[in-house]
Structure 1
Amino acid sequence: MSTQVKFLTKNFGQYDTSSIGSYMNIGGFEALRKAVNMNPEDICTMLTEAKIRGRGGAEYPLGRKWSQARAVRGENKVVICNADEGETTTFKDRELIKNDPFNLIEAMIIAGFVCGATDGFIYMRGEYACHRPLLLNAIRQARNYGFLGENILGKGFDFNIHLYSGGGAYVCGEGTALIRSIEGKAGRPRMKPPFIKVSGLFARPTCLNNVESLSLVPHLLQDKTTYMNCGTGESIGTKLISVAGNVNKPGVFEIPFGTTVREIIYNLAGGIQHDRNIQLIQFGGASGKVTDASILDTPYTYDDLRAAGVMVGSGGILVIDERTSVIDFLRMNQEFFSEESCGQCTPCREGNLHIKIILDKLAKGEANEQDIKTMTTIAKVMSMSSLCGLGETAQNSLLSAMKKFPQVFDLGGARA
């Protein structure tokens, strides 16, 4: 099996990203022309058959989400593209925006048609400000060519796209916090229900998708067979992954599901710097779980990774070599969550603070058995009672490390 493919990335380097004409010369907007002549439910069925799970980390089936969004009654529906990409070690969506902006615009228009929406919003992280002109230009040219605005392609379909930039808050990757940010409010999550598919942006029915999830759709409409022939089992197709850390060639790669972790790290990412040993690998960004080198021969699929104790998540893979101890890695991760917690709910606000204190004590050799028990309890309470996904998953790395590296937390044994 090839360790790298070009399905989602096949347009990279093939056209002038500042020119809609150049994009159309390679087949751009043909998927949209095809979509508006189809029954929207047939498009949802196609996505379901392709078994596409949300590429932002939640893994919610894309076909089901669009079908549900379409079924919601209400006027002036909205589709949102979550281009916040605040998860550490994750930079795949940046590459899609930079190398294929018109495909993303086309995908949003198709999403609007299927869901019955009148407006689309791209919420892009503040750190990607250098790519704003690229997307604004793509939106402007799509409007000039009649792909945005009123009566698109003569089908009585009206749709417009708006671009918003966040202020760099990690928590705004969460749907309701992102929506509040667009509304001009503090980017803090809210309680659900109501779910955003019923009452989202400005209380309008809203369908929110990740950049990669959306970007797949035009390619699938044009060539479903190639996608379906990739992957294995329940994990059909390809996946964009970001590999970073102590590897020789960090970067973004498109792989067929089923590629082993070893092939990803040693073939695509060039192996470990100076041939050092692997200390740990974290999957799915800061909120992902960690494991050791025993996972190397595990196929990269949803089910295989889950069985190995980790998850696909955002598609990020962070490789840490033997120079960094498990505790120091966890302290670094905890500093991130302590900084990025919005502070709204008690479990997350207080839990992150106290776990940081205990990890610092561990690093200094000052922790005792009660500290370990307290830290474990706090982590479990956070995962069960926090308001949003940040607090629920902030201690994934800690809890998984306690299972995979028990000797580190055995105060009578050796530290790693």
Structure 2
Amino acid sequence: MKPRIAVVGGGWAGLAAAVAAVQRGAQVSLFEMAPTLGGRARSTAPKHPGAPALDNGQHILIGAYSATLDLMRTVGVDPEQVLLRRPLSLVNAHGQGLRLPQGPALIALTRGVLSHPAWTGPERLALLARSGVWALRGFRCDPRLSVAELCRGMAPALRRDLIDPLCVAALNTPADQASAEVFLRVLRDALFSGPGAADLLLPKAPLAELLPHPAQRWLEQHGATITLGQRVEALGALSTADAPGADGIILACSALEAARLTQDIAPTWSREAAAFGYEPIVTVNLQAHGLDGRPLNLAAPMVQLPEHTEAQPNPAQFVFDQGQIQGQPGRFSFVISGAAPWVERGQAATLAAIQAQAEALWPGARLAVESYVAEKRATFRCTPGLHRPAARPDPRLSPRLVVAGDYIEGPYPATLEGAVRSGQAAAHALV
């Protein structure tokens, strides 16, 4: 008889868990309290007919996300069709900056660093030397170090052009607050996972088409049941009324929801899950056209923006040209990672600052804000020595209750890959 598995949560961790459980012969029931699947990487319905579907933010994958890419293939998605693959580049609006050529990542990094136009010879050699030391140490360090402390003594240009933007993009936490241990793990995976591991993979399709919708179709075709718009109020109710005879439960909901559901049966674990600090991400989508009405463009699909101007700090660290990525000319996504200060300032102040950034990019352009999306708990704050709860809230419950999510104890920051791997591990533990 097939084991019955209830999955609570339909984000990427829950979908990964459900697919893996079905593959291992389980009868799966998935419950999601939102009206759509996808969690913090989802799409919403367009505001009016003919308008593009809105994602809850601009997401980036990298070539090293092997579990995520394999899961997409399992549910019938060809990553090459829905993702724009480009070698890693951190370039400014003029196309100048770090560009990694194709090939083995370490060789590509060396070539990219040595050809960087804005760094001096000593700065290039110092960066390669520092990277070599990290590699010799196995990309490990004292877990109490921040990224800023790890890079103490590094030239300001290297911090400004490479370390700080990579850190906030990967960990969504400023370098002076971010875990050096996790940052080095991300570098290790990008540099030692084979050719193409450091490549940027930018969604050419709405996030829903990358995994949530195809996974839903795949699960239903394989006999799973999916219930949307229903919040699980208690685990006891779930195991008796909604999924009678459930042999195992996978909590793949948010840390706060998991804390609520386990507060009576695993109070210590519940307190750990509820203790996270969070960092928001804000995405502002706007249209930009020249005075002649033609859509504008950027030097690359993803462009790095300066942190400060003479007048004020800039909010967005990156801007994405959706004309090059999704075939929507004139549409741009300005992304603010580690956005807590701007969320506090409010939407009006943030939009005004983004408008100023866009005007600096395209003087005299016709600009129109399309949408403002603030994901207030986009990721946990990835700080040094952060304690993350284990996948099993209580050893006594281990045969039937496992938690999955990017916040569960593990080596990855809050990424899609971390969520997928955690979901798959939970399914393997139960089935």
TM-score class normalised by the smaller sequence: under 0.3
| TM-score (norm. length: structure 1) | 0.24
Higher strand share: 2
Higher relative contact order (CA 8 A, sep 6+): 2
Where is the helix percentage greater, Structure 1 or Structure 2? 1
